[in-house]
Chain A
Amino acid sequence: MLYRVAGQFKTSYQADYALFPVRQDAWLLVFILLLAFVVFPMTANEFMFRAMLTPVLIYSLAALGLNILTGYAGQLSLGTGAFMGVGAYACYKLVTIFPEMNIVVAIFLSGFFSAAVGVAFGLPSLRIKGFYLAIATLAAQFFLVWLFQKWAWLYNYSASGAIQVPNIKLFGVTVAGAHATALTQYYFVLCVVCVVTFLAINLTRGRIGRIWKSVRDMDIAAELVGINLMKAKLTAFFVSSYIVGISGALFVFLWRGAAEAELFDIQLSFKVLFIAIIGGLGSIMGNFLGAILIVALPVLISFVPGLLGLPIGAAMVEHLNVMIIGMLIIGFLIVEPHGLARFWAMIREKLIIWPFPH
């Protein structure tokens, strides 16, 4: 009923391939953006921003980058955390070497560093496939984290070995560092995420996106119809690592405020991979749904014992949380292996034909 498509006629191919072939989708997006830009900032408090809203956005962006590589181009990566680290350290070096540089420019430039590293570690994908390729990205993961620890130039020889974000102003407003408010940081992240997501949507439904999908579905067949595999795989690594690098820069500069090498360890890679898979491989929207589930749900779960008045210690809550997340992941994989995005697609189908099931 809500999704009645009757009466929306397409008279050209262009209209048929438009971003929103169904008008209600556009309305839904407007509604979500309204929530994100107006309602949340007006209602949420400091804790909500720091613990849920900003991290959800940043993790969504990281998962989006991974999803382009794994979900669209079919190349499994277990090194997302390290590529986020490259973005973060590159951004840190940029703002400390060129203090006048605009933070937006620095963040978008730092993506290129992680993209270069990503392409370098993506080169083996031309020869190695499937799970064997995971080893190349694992090598990147462990080697890069080791490099973050040992190469003192990266963290400006600070005694703690950690990078500390300086206070950075953008148009007179502090956006990064200890003096920034959670609200400005949230808006900053939200804008970056919106821009990158918009670009990613159009990239994946255009020519390059189709090339990636054909490589994912069967790379030999793709090669036979004249697709340059090397170009396709390396562009996927480039775009993916670029987005992941940006998310890493945001991760440290707009959320954590400080970081050391261990922050980018394999657990982070797995967390992002989970978001991408639970959300749905090969879907843009899935990343956001997955991030909400994986990032925000644990925060909510940790409140449950307190609300119920159960006398459970903080450590125990943490342990139970890990256990519940594990069960949820298995449960979701069993119920819907194609992720939350497929779930939404099914609901949407049902809504369109409702109330007549045939």
Chain B
Amino acid sequence: MEFIHPILIKPFADMVSAPDFLVQVLWEGIVSGVLYALIALGFVLIFKSSRILNFAQGIMVVFAALTLVGLYERGVPAWLALPLTLGVMLVLAIGIERVVLRPLVNQPDIILFMATIGITMFLIGLGETIFGGENKRMITEELGIPTGNFIFEPFGGFVSIEQKDLTAVIGAVVLVVVLLLFLNKSKMGRAIRALGDDHQAALSVGISLSTIWVLVWFIAGIIALATGIVWGARAGVSFALEVIALKALPVLMLGGLESVSGAIIGGLMIGILEKVFEIYWGQPLLGGSTESWFAYVLALLVLLARPQGLFGEKIIERV
């Protein structure tokens, strides 16, 4: 029974003996979970309205952040760079709808998925051509985001919370609330949900497909910019972000592809669990960097129990 001890007993003993460290780990998990949730939110919006699994969401995050930083570096003041970047995202949304989505209406899912990978490659190339491929610093202070630390001392220990992380979490909560209000209360939001339920029925009551698609991609662009700012503040702006954005896929699967709340809960779950697993099981037992696969394996296990994800719509199959 030697091997059971480090797996089942020691990690929990560690957690109890150093609760302040556990709190720190949980906080780190929450912050990355919020970021996963934000990216997943962009996916869900587009998936709900057009059944497209938008692989380009990750690169849109990078592209938005790069545009913001790139504009600032070229002498545009920060307060102006922000709306300009939003403008760029709007142009991008219109362009994608015109050039890519419109000719591909009614194609199989996999083709549209591939097309979004094509968009990804195009945006990578474009971003590198215009702004260069090197890592950039996010203009955190210039945007008025505080950068200090809050220090807490619970249980006689020591927990440090960065103010920009706190800002990120608060900002994300505000964004999600606004988004939910928009989706559930506004006319446009209802149109988006109607399209998600049934394309043809929505078209027949006069909802414009192309307008809604542009709108949805633009909202996804706004979310991408928000994600890019908070993530860039933590890790700098570079194309490495794109790989991290892939994590949104297990988040989505875990929460269910159609569910906004599922994306948020899934994101938080994965963010927290993968941190805890990495610290208490991964590093001592498996040699570390388990964060690269933990989310996927977790999502896989959940899917085996619930094939539609935790909050997804029940899959009904007919012959």
Contacts and interface: CB of A to CB of B under 8 A. Distances in A.
Contact of A320 (B100, B129, B309, B315): B129
Q: Which 9 A-B pairs have the closest CB atoms?
A: A323-B125, A326-B122, A326-B121, A322-B125, A329-B118, A139-B296, A142-B293, A319-B128, A330-B118
B307 A135 contact: no
Contacts of A56: none
A129 B293 CA distance: 21
A224 B122 contact: no
B174 to A, nearest CB: 30
A134 B109 contact: no
Contacts of A141: 296
B103 interface: yes
Nearest to A221: B319
A330 B297 contact: no
A136 interface: yes
12 contacts: A132-B303, A134-B249, A139-B293, A142-B293, A146-B289, A146-B290, A266-B243, A319-B125, A326-B121, A326-B122, A330-B118, A334-B100
A139 B119 contact: no
Interface string A111-145: 00000000000001001111110111011011101
B255 to A, nearest CB: 12
The B interface is mostly helix, strand or loop, or mixed, namely helix
Interface string B287-319: 101101100110110011001110000010101
Contacts of B315: 129
Contacts of A266: 243, 246
Contact of A135 (B103, B118, B122, B250): B250
Contacts, number: 135
B299 A139 contact: yes
Contact of B125 (A145, A273, A274, A326): A326
Interface in A264-315: 266, 270, 273-274, 277, 281, 315
A257 to B, nearest CB: 26
B244 to A, nearest CB: 12
B307 A326 contact: no
B125 A129 contact: no
A352 to B, nearest CB: 28
The number of chain A residues touching the other chain, given as a range, is: 35 or more
Interface of A: 70, 76, 124, 127-132, 134-136, 138-139, 141-143, 145-146, 149-150, 218, 220-221, 224, 266, 270, 273-274, 277, 281, 315-316, 318-327, 329-330, 333-334, 337
Interface residues of B, number: 50
A131 B257 contact: yes
A277 B55 CA distance: 16
Interface of B: 53, 99-100, 103-104, 107-111, 113-115, 117-126, 128-129, 133, 243, 246, 249-250, 253, 257, 286-287, 289-290, 292-293, 296-297, 299-300, 303-304, 307-309, 315, 317, 319
Contacts of B243: 266
Nearest to A327: B122
B296 A326 contact: no
A323 to B, nearest CB: 3
A101 B128 CA distance: 47
B197 to A, nearest CB: 18
Contacts of A221: 319
A256 B103 CA distance: 39
A138 B303 CA distance: 13
